[in-house]
Each structure stands twice: as C-alpha cells, then as structure tokens.
Amino acid sequence: MISLTFGLGALEAEFWRWLFIMTRIGAALLAAPFFGATGVPPQARIVVTGAVGVLVCNWTGVQAPPALFSLDGMLAVAGEVLVGASLGFVLQLSFAAPTIAAEVIGAGMGMSIAAAADPQTGAHSPALGQYYGVVLTLVFLGLGGHLMFIDLVIKSYASFPPGHTWLGPERIGAITGFGTQMFITAVAIALPVTLILLLVQFAAGVVSRAAPSLNLFSLGLPAGVLAGLAALIVSAPLTGDMMADLSAQALRQAEGVLLK
C-alpha cells in the first residue's frame, strides 16, 4: 500500500481529506462556464475551491481513500474528477445555446465578420454572442444560480460517494441528450429574429426582381442589419425572461445527472 505521510497524525489526515474533497469541487468549477472563464485568476479558483472544501469537510462525512497515492486512490481521484467535470459540462452546454443562436442571427444580419474574443473560452465569437453571454451570466448570478450549482456539487456526494463515481450508461446518455436540448433552446432564441430577417430578405429579393437595376447586395445587407437591430430592440424586454428560463433549465439538467 502506497501512502505519503509527514508524521503530523490526525492533522495530516484531515489535510489529505480536504485535498481529496477539493478534487471534485475544483473539477466542477473549472468546467462551469463562469468559474472556469479564462478571465478568472487561478488563485481565485483555488481559494473558492478550498473554501467550499472546508465546508464540505465540516458538513459531510466524506473520507479520503486510506492510500491516496495507490492505484485505488488514483482511480478514486479520477472518479471525483469525472463527477465534477460532468456537472460543470452540463451547465456549459446550456450556456452555449445563446452563442449558437447569435451565430444564426449574425449570419442572417450579415454581421458574422463582427467577432471578438470570448472572455469565457478565449475563442472568437460573434459580437452578438458576447451580448447574450453577458446577459445570461448576469441573470444567472443575479438569481443565485452559482449558489445552487455549488449546492448540487455538495449534494453529489450523497448520489456519488467516493469509490462509487461511475456514472453508468444511463447518465452518460442523459448528458449526451442535453446537447440536443441545447440546439432546441438555441433555435427558440434565434427564431423570432430569424423569421423577421427572412421576410426582409424575401422582400429585398422581390424588389430586386421587380427592379433589376437595383443592386441586391447594396439593398439587402443594410435592410437586414436594420431589421435585425430593430428586432433585437423589440425583443429585448423578453431577453431577461428567456435567460432566466435558460438558467433554470441549466440547473435542472445538472440536477438530472444526480437523480437519473
């Protein structure tokens, strides 16, 4: 049996227990769309993970494997990472829906070239996706979704105690199915604006056929941009409600991983 001790007795045992508990919490926060953003300093993640880990040590009776650096101990750590990353990944799927909707809307408006670096992932995304992403993050944090997510991570120790962290085919299939829900939500967000853009482009095509001297591109592109902006302004009061529903859906899906 492989173990690592420093001769500090019970204090050292509590330290390894705390470090083991931090594994699942850290994996969940790293995979989550807000805690895992590239703009969040690693030091802040470690502090939050350690603070939550202290609370879990006090609230639960979770124990670390007796030999953490043995093969069984490493497998237990890998299981902790699997459960934590799965919870964060499910939340990440829901947060990706507005970005996909922004891609569809931006393509219809001709604004696909207006891209910026996404602070969440570091990749380039449409400027409209930045708007949706900021609104969703603010709504999620304003409704206390981050606290509910941490609560789900703590509750996962009851559903998946250390050593019993294999999700199984049913839960893995459910996580995959959440990807389908992501695309459905993206279509629901983009559909109103996309329909208006389709009508504008159809009208521009009819005008171009009626008056061939008119340039379709010089007429359709400005009309599409103006119509898209007008549609976004009109639908702005509904954006908050859509993002609130999306936040609730994200938490329900994360909870579904525990209850399947």
pLDDT of residue 6: 53
Both tokens assigned to 133: 């992403």
pLDDT of residue 11: 73
CA dist 136 → 15, 37, 181 (Å): 37, 14, 17
pLDDT of residue 1: 39
pLDDT of residue 212: 66
pLDDT of residue 114: 56
The tens-digit pLDDT sequence of the chain (260 residues) is 345 555 555 677 788 888 888 888 888 888 888 777 777 778 888 888 888 888 888 887 777 777 777 777 788 888 888 888 888 888 888 888 888 888 888 777 766 655 555 555 555 666 677 788 888 888 888 888 888 888 888 888 888 888 777 777 777 777 777 878 788 888 888 888 888 888 877 777 777 677 666 666 666 677 777 877 788 788 778 877 888 888 888 888 888 777 75
Q: What is the pTM of this model?
A: 0.75
pLDDT of residue 8: 55
The 3-class SS string of the chain reads: CCCCCCCCCHHHHHHHHHHHHHHHHHHHHHHCCCCCCCCCCHHHHHHHHHHHHHHHHHHCCCCCCCCCCCHHHHHHHHHHHHHHHHHHHHHHHHHHHHHHHHHHHHHHHCCCCCEEECCCCCCEEEHHHHHHHHHHHHHHHHCCHHHHHHHHHHHHHHHCCCCCCCCHHHHHHHHHHHHHHHHHHHHHHHHHHHHHHHHHHHHHHHHHHHCCCCCHHHHHHHHHHHHHHHHHHHHHHHHHHHHHHHHHHHHHHHHHHHHC
Cα-Cα-Cα-Cα dihedral of 122, 237, 102, 39, to 10°?
Answer: 0
The domain locations on the chain are: 10-259
